[in-house]
Amino acid sequence: MPELPEVEVVRRGLERWAAHRTVADAEVLHPRAVRRHLAGPDDFAHRLKGHRIGTPSRRGKYLWLPLTDTDQSVLAHLGMSGQLLVQPHAAPDEKHLRIRIRFADTLGTELRFVDQRTFGGLSLHDNTPDGLPDVIAHIARDPLDPLFDDEAFHQALRRKRSTIKRALLDQSLISGVGNIYADEALWRARIHYDRPTATFTRPRTAELLGHVRDVMNAALAVGGTSFDSLYVNVNGESGYFDRSLDAYGREGLPCKRCGTPMRRRLWMNRSSYFCPKCQRAPRVSS
DNA sequence: AAGCTCTCCTGATGGC
DNA sequence: TGCCATCAGGAGAGCT
């Protein structure tokens, strides 16, 4: 499940292996992979052809490849299971290969978008004046962005009548955090996922943001989190952070701080893992 | 109108 | 053995 660290690992791979190459042609093998490109698969392929890829950028879980000499970018979201792979031409097609991009050079590799669950996709969009694809203008800066505004985030929490994990997953408040890193950061901060956002003091918000950044940087340093083959870097290699997870996926195992068995609660159509002792449930409001 | 629920999708897994 | 239900969950549409 690619979140910010995994997407950043992919972005770095693209910067090394795909940037500054010119597209020879693009082939869409599954229309759902370009569903966000409203003009359709043929238009997508046609518009890429002959253009050179600039330096890949990222905000939260979105990454994009600017097309130099245009004001457009190829936007990518990996969804649940999307992969961007740089593969030799001769490598056999992956079972879930959705899009192939060939280059007009002799490096012998092509860019492939592979996606089992088809929640991800590629699309082409105009850039806003600050170089961001227009359709993601509503996505907030992420916590590793130097321009992320901690104070504005705190004020937004105070204004909301919601709960903290919901807020962490709200990409218009803070981007790049998904279910795994939300649970990890909350465990580190000893905060229950259902704590009302309006109860956060400035120091508490600062502490939580610190943990979000720490856990993401730690994951980034070891290539991200891979539970299975669904997340890999552009060369098909897994990350190692799954071995360092303190909360996610640890139902019934002892809390690494206090030994209490970790719990899992179904919440928002997904699982929340937490320590019932370290992360006390908030007082029920009536 | 903000907050929340639902839905899209495929494959692994488990129960009977 | 086979069949069905469940689970994984990002993000936006749609409902209240």
Domain boundaries, chain A: 4-136, 150-274
Segment A128-156, tens digit of pLDDT: 998 999 999 999 999 999 999 999 999 99
What's residue A228's pLDDT?
66
Distance CA A186, CA A210 (A): 11
Known active-site residue A256: no
Q: Which ranges of A76-178 does DSSP label H, i.e. alpha helix?
A: 150-159, 164-169
Distance A63 CA to C13 C1' (A): 23
Mean pLDDT of chain A: 93
From the options 3.40.50.2300, 3.40.1050.10, 3.20.190.10, 3.10.20.30, give the CATH code of A4-136. Answer: 3.20.190.10
Residue where the block lists tokens 């003009």: A39
Nucleotide nearest to A183 (CA to C1'): C9
The reply to whether A192 sits in an annotated binding site is no
- Tell me, yes or no, if the pTM score tops 0.85: yes
Proportion of chain A above pLDDT 90, given as a percent: 86
Segment A106-131, tens digit of pLDDT: 999 999 999 999 999 999 999 999 89
Residues with Cβ within 8 Å of residue A173, at least 6 apart in sequence: A140, A153, A156, A157, A167
Known active-site residue A3: yes
Segment A14-69, tens digit of pLDDT: 999 999 999 999 999 999 999 999 999 999 999 999 999 999 999 999 999 999 99
Nearest to A285 by CA among A208, A197, A183: A197
Nucleotide nearest to A79 (CA to C1'): C10
Fold adopted by A150-274: Helicase, Ruva Protein; domain 3 (1.10.8)
The pLDDT of A187-211, averaged and rounded, is: 96
β pairing state of A62-66 and A263-267: unpaired
A117 Cβ nearer than 7 Å to chain C strand = yes
What's residue A242's pLDDT?
85
What's residue A225's pLDDT?
83
| Residue A112, number of CB atoms within 10 A of its CB | 21
